[in-house]
């Protein structure tokens, strides 16, 4: 698939902009702060309904306005689909497909798929677990859009249960007695939705593992072995040792659900005392290792970059080929599902070797969008069309 046209209204720095695009490689070139990342961020938003730079939508809307619109014409197998997403911070976003009536934003998921490489990716290796959870969840949503519903149900349940624990904590302190029956209901809901999230993430990590290890070899000079493990908060809650997970990889939803309930049972007084949900997928992590050492805190800067690139390249492989063993994710894609590759400012950050390897690996993709401050930052294998971005204007240079 590829994006044939992008149109923005009041998105970031753009009051209005039209950007026609071709399949193949396009470099967006212009000095700092001119709006290159804003363009590719908008394309990523259509695919994931989130930004790679900010956790909430407020910054995406042009200052002084209260609504942004992103329109993208997505072509797949010669058929064009027009996707229109309206971003209104503080309200539910709306979306339209092919000019139809406005519906839930979530309904556009799956029409466009992207893999975005950006300097922010380094935080996948060096940063906190929430960035890694978001990486897994964003990829899951692109692989199976219906998981978006499960994830938002989980977030809602988590908010409600946390609020209830907080009031139970306050009631306990005031010795007025907490309403524990309602808590039982929310325990069950959390276990039920949480188990689906855990099982989906575990399957994803299993599918990513060999692809990420291979990609790591390709971008780093072949030193070290990249390992990926899903670390469940159940392990700590149920007192499991590191090498003995509380739920075996591949365990079904019912097993995980039962263990989540068991953990909440054990943790109840602690949770009430602290007023927070101590177990569930919101506390899990994707543990990354190089050889025997954790990547976080141990890997060098260059190695960390290779790990981040490997995670994105593995995502690209999964979104292109699906999961061979189970086949479940690839089944409903149909042909021409290869994601659009976006490389935002990454080449300036990489040494020559990694830069060349990455360029070679991504060059054959159906559509590649690269941003760079100067044309020299775009490696040779990615010489293609060029769009100059300057002061909110975009112009085709070749
Ligand atoms: N919500 C917003 N409203 C108005 N302007 C915004 C908004 N968000 C960002 N900007 C402006 O957009 C510009 C940044 O654009 P962008 O990040 O796309 O630059 P860039 O061309 O990628 O630069 P660099 O080469 O430094 O990465 C900044 O000048 C910033 O002030
Ligand atoms: Mg930029």
CA dist 109 and 241 (Å) reads 38
CA dist 63 and 221 (Å) reads 45
Check pocket membership of 349 for ligand 1, CB cut-off 6 A: no
- Does 208 lie in the same domain as 326? yes
Under 8 Å CB-to-CB from 4, ≥6 apart: which residues? 20, 21, 22, 73, 74, 75, 80
Q: Above 90 in pLDDT, residue 167? A: no
- Its pTM stands at 0.93
Question: Distances in Å between the alpha carbon of 17 and those of 50, 95, 353?
Answer: 20, 19, 36
Q: What is the pLDDT of residues 13-40, one digit of tens each?
A: 999 999 999 999 999 999 999 999 999 9
- Does 222 lie in the same domain as 102? no
| pLDDT level of residue 264 (50, 70, 90 thresholds) | very high
- Does 178 lie in the same domain as 153? yes
- Does 197 lie in the same domain as 256? yes
| pLDDT level of residue 113 (50, 70, 90 thresholds) | very high
CA of 344 to the centre of ligand 1 (A): 13
- Does 102 lie in the same domain as 247? no
Residue ranges of alpha helices (H) inside 220-252 are 233-237
Residue bearing the CA closest to ligand 1, atom 29: 33
Check pocket membership of 12 for ligand 1, CB cut-off 6 A: yes
- Does 364 lie in the same domain as 269? no
Closest-lying ligand to the alpha carbon of 41?
1
- Does 210 lie in the same domain as 198? yes
Check pocket membership of 62 for ligand 1, CB cut-off 6 A: yes
- Does 95 lie in the same domain as 147? no
Q: What is the pLDDT of residues 175-214, one digit of tens each?
A: 776 677 788 999 999 999 999 999 999 999 999 999 999 9
- Does 174 lie in the same domain as 40? no
| pLDDT level of residue 387 (50, 70, 90 thresholds) | very high
CA dist 360 and 97 (Å) reads 35
Q: Do residues 368 and 382 touch, judged by C-beta distance below 8 A?
A: yes
How is residue 281 written in tokens?
């997928």
- CATH number for the domain including 380? 3.40.50.300
The count of domains in the chain is 2
Q: Do residues 62 and 70 touch, judged by C-beta distance below 8 A?
A: no
Domain endpoint, select from 320, 336, 352 = 336
- Does 129 lie in the same domain as 202? yes
SS (H, E, C) 318-366: HHHHCCCCCCCCCCCCCCCCCCEEEEECCHHHCCHHHHHHHHHHHCCCC
Work out the average pLDDT over 221-236. Answer: 89
Check pocket membership of 52 for ligand 1, CB cut-off 6 A: no
Work out the average pLDDT over 67-88. Answer: 97
Ligand 2 ion: Cβ-proximal residues, 5 Å cutoff: 37, 345
Domain span at residue 332 reads 120-336
- Does 131 lie in the same domain as 37? no
- Does 370 lie in the same domain as 309? no
Check pocket membership of 38 for ligand 1, CB cut-off 6 A: yes
Q: Above 70 in pLDDT, residue 329? A: no
CB-facing half-sphere around the CA of 330: CA atoms within 13 A:
15
Q: Do residues 268 and 326 touch, judged by C-beta distance below 8 A?
A: no
């Amino acid at each position: 698939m590829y994006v044939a046209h992008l149109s923005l209204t009041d998105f970031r720095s753009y009051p209005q902009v039209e950007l026609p695009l071709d399949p193949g490689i396009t470099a967006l070139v212009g000095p700092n702060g001119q709006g290159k990342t804003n363009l590719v961020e908008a394309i990523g938003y259509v695919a994931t309904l989130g930004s790679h730079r900010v956790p909430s939508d407020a910054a995406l809307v042009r200052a002084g306005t209260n609504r942004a619109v992103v329109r993208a014409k997505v072509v797949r197998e010669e058929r064009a689909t027009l996707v229109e997403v309206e971003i209104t911070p503080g309200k539910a976003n709306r979306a339209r497909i092919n000019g139809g009536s406005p519906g839930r934003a979530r309904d556009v998921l799956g029409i466009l798929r992207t893999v975005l490489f950006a300097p922010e990716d380094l935080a996948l290796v060096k940063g906190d677990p929430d960035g890694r959870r978001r990486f897994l969840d964003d990829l899951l949503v692109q692989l199976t859009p219906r998981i978006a519903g499960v994830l938002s149900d989980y977030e809602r349940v988590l908010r409600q249960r946390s609020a209830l624990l907080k009031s139970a904590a306050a009631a306990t302190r005031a010795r007025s007695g907490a309403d524990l029956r309602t808590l039982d209901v929310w325990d069950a809901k959390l276990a039920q939705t949480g188990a689906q999230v855990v099982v989906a993430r575990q399957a994803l990590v299993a599918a990513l593992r060999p692809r990420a290890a291979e990609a790591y070899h390709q971008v780093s000079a072949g030193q070290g072995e990249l390992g990926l493990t899903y670390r469940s908060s159940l392990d700590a809650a149920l007192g499991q040792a590191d090498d003995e997970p509380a739920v075996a990889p591949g365990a079904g939803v019912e097993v995980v659900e039962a263990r989540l309930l068991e953990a909440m049972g054990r943790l109840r007084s602690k949770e009430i005392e602290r007023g927070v949900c101590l177990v569930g997928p919101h506390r899990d992590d994707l543990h990354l290792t190089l050889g025997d050492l954790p990547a976080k805190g141990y890997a060098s800067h260059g190695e960390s970059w290779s790990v981040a690139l490997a995670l994105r390249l593995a995502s690209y492989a999964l979104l292109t080929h699906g999961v061979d063993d189970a086949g479940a994710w690839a089944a409903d894609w149909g042909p021409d599902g290869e994601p659009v590759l976006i490389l935002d400012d990454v080449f300036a950050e990489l040494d020559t070797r990694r830069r060349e390897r990455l360029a070679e690996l991504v060059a054959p993709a159906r559509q590649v969008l690269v941003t760079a401050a100067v044309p020299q930052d775009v490696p040779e294998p990615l010489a293609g069309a060029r769009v100059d971005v300057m002061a909110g204007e975009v112009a085709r240079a070749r």
